[in-house]
Amino acid sequence: MLTHTMSEDLFGGVIGTPAIPVAASTGGSLTDANRAAGTEQSGLPLAVRMRPRTLDEIVGQQHLLAAGSPLRRLAAGEAMSVFLWGPPGTGKTTIASVVSGQTDSKFVEISAVTAGVKEVRAVLDQARRDLRTGRQTVLFVDEVHRFSKTQQDVLLPAVENRLVTLIAATTENPSFSVISPLLSRSLLLTLKPLTDDDVAELLDRALSGDRGLGGSYTVDDDARSTILRLAGGDARRALTYLEESAAGAKAVQSSAITTDIVEQAVDQAAIRYDRAGDQHYDVISAFIKSIRGSDVQAALHYLARMVAAGEDPRFIARRLVILASEDIGLADPSALTTAVAAADAVAFIGMPEGRINLAQAVIALALAPKSNAVIGAIDAALADVHAGKIGLVPPHLRDAHYSGAQAYGHGSDYAYAHDHPHGIAAQQYLPDDLTHARYYTPTDHGSEAALATRLARIEQLLGRDWADAAE
């Protein structure tokens, strides 16, 4: 007999809390288990007891829950296969469980991390036998992006013939990890990260609901903020922290959950960082200034504070991409490539693994030679443009590819650079009023030192006399 467990959290994130066995041979579903349990006395974790039973109980994904939406049709029994793409903790497993319960289908989960081709075929064979008796199967594939092409090929006939209703969850863009034939036969639904308000709603339900703590405990505002901050948008983590905090309050014979109790319950001190307040701006400011100042130890400290507090990793990555050009520039041209690669990696694999990519980029950028010549150059050029220093494009540089251009002298006497020594043609490129403008002034830091030497030689070949320009 195959036994599958729900390893993903209440809204999609793997946290490692106890799983509920689902017997594939008998058709048991997690939703059935929830309904049978129903109360705190069942011994099930709070996050499992509070798992939504209908689509209307799901929070944070309203863009997918409108009347007539694919999820509504799926829950109503319409045959289709879907891919749920979103960050951990957003509801992927919950959606699959709800669909199974509302359609009275058997719910079977397999994890792409542990299941091989043999296991996949066994599940499909059982689904075929169940279908002969009129029982549909909802097959939930967790982390489907980890399936090999061969494993995905095994699923393809089952999807085409509607042997199962496939609901596949992934934290990575399926366009890069799922074979085209399988993806083209399925709907792709993108789940949004849960906001603090979404998670707070779930905490309120758990505090007051009969399936939760039944109004036995209160949580002060600071304690609530601490739970939300430490949960980082992950619903199961938040409910697990609440449950442990309630146990901590009970141990000291109190019904009030405070920040101290929360901190002790999650076995870590509260991180003094507010993603929506002054600390947010102070920490990111210190982070950027530490990299600019080449203090790699401080930069890593502030990175760790942001990661631990649940800061959006894409926000961190965007700041690194900006810094790579603003504070390093051509002193180390590879810095921008490194920062962009880190941003792509974070978007591709998500957190928590993305912290490694961010750390690599932070170390590289902090240790790189620094130059602000690039931002200085573009800002100086923009200042001239905004001041009205525009001027006409020299006639020999104007477009000469249309009929009649030669009559206006456009392109006349243009010197083709590749026909000249060193590939540099000495001719006027700037408008008349700006012939002595100088925007880019390289430093002698890192690779930019070589550019400074090259630029000086180019200016000589172009016939520019900077001594005259300075006068």
In eight-state DSSP terms, residue 45 is -
Report how far residue 190's alpha carbon sits from residue 85's, in angstroms, rounded to the nearest whole number: 5
Helices then strands, each counted (H, E), the chain = 20, 9
Taken in order of first residue, the domains within the chain and their CATH numbers are 3-190 (3.40.50.300), 196-265 (1.10.8.60), 278-367 (1.20.272.10), 386-470 (1.10.3710.10)
**Which run of H or E residues covers position 205?**
helix 196-208
As given in the structure block, the two tokens for residue 459 are 């200016």
- pLDDT for the residue 411: 67
- CB neighbours of 141 closer than 8 A, spacing ≥ 6? 109, 110, 111, 112, 147, 155, 166, 167, 168, 169
How high does pLDDT run on average in the chain? 80
- pLDDT for the residue 67: 86
Residue with tokens 């150059």: 377
- CB neighbours of 114 closer than 8 A, spacing ≥ 6? none
SS3 387: coil
Sign of the alpha-carbon torsion through 92, 97, 100, 105:
positive
Report how far residue 426's alpha carbon sits from residue 107's, in angstroms, rounded to the nearest whole number: 75
Over residues 202-232, the pLDDT tens digits come to: 999 999 999 999 999 999 998 998 888 888 7
What Cα–Cα distance (Å) separates residue 164 from each residue in 65, 175, 182, 382? Answer: 22, 22, 13, 60
| Nearest one of 93, 111, 113 to 101, comparing CA atoms | 93
Over residues 251-289, the pLDDT tens digits come to: 999 999 998 899 888 765 455 555 555 566 788 889 999
**Which run of H or E residues covers position 169?**
strand 165-170
Report how far residue 452's alpha carbon sits from residue 460's, in angstroms, rounded to the nearest whole number: 13
What Cα–Cα distance (Å) separates residue 416 from each residue in 88, 253, 352, 394? Answer: 56, 87, 53, 15
CB 179 within 8 A of CB 152: yes
Type of residue numbered 388: G
| Nearest one of 329, 339, 344, 336 to 359, comparing CA atoms | 339
What is the number of alpha carbons within 13 Å of residue 150 lying toward its C-beta? Answer: 6
Report how far residue 431's alpha carbon sits from residue 437's, in angstroms, rounded to the nearest whole number: 10
φ, ψ dihedrals at 429, nearest 5°? -110, -35
Report how far residue 94's alpha carbon sits from residue 99's, in angstroms, rounded to the nearest whole number: 9
- pLDDT for the residue 338: 96
Over residues 428-449, the pLDDT tens digits come to: 777 877 877 888 888 888 888 8
What Cα–Cα distance (Å) separates residue 325 from each residue in 298, 320, 368, 370, 443? Answer: 21, 9, 12, 10, 14
Using left for φ > 0, alpha for ψ between -120 and 50, and beta otherwise, residue 135 falls in beta
CB 346 within 8 A of CB 313: yes
Residue with tokens 């990299």: 291
Residue with tokens 């009649």: 404
Residue with tokens 């905490």: 203
Q: What is the separation of C-alpha 424 from the centre of its chain, rounded to a whole number of angstroms?
A: 45
Sign of the alpha-carbon torsion through 440, 446, 447, 450:
positive
pLDDT, one tens digit for every residue, the chain (471 residues): 333 333 333 333 333 333 333 333 333 333 333 433 333 445 788 888 888 888 888 888 888 888 888 888 888 878 788 999 887 777 888 888 888 787 778 888 888 778 888 888 999 999 999 989 888 888 888 888 888 888 888 899 988 888 888 898 888 888 878 888 998 888 898 888 888 899 999 999 999 999 999 999 999 998 998 888 888 778 888 898 999 999 999 999 999 999 889 988 876 545 555 555 556 678 888 999 999 999 999 999 999 988 887 788 888 999 999 999 999 999 999 999 999 999 999 988 888 889 999 999 999 999 999 999 999 999 988 888 888 888 877 877 777 666 666 666 676 777 777 878 888 777 777 787 787 788 888 888 888 888 888 888 888 888 776 544 444
CB 437 within 8 A of CB 384: yes
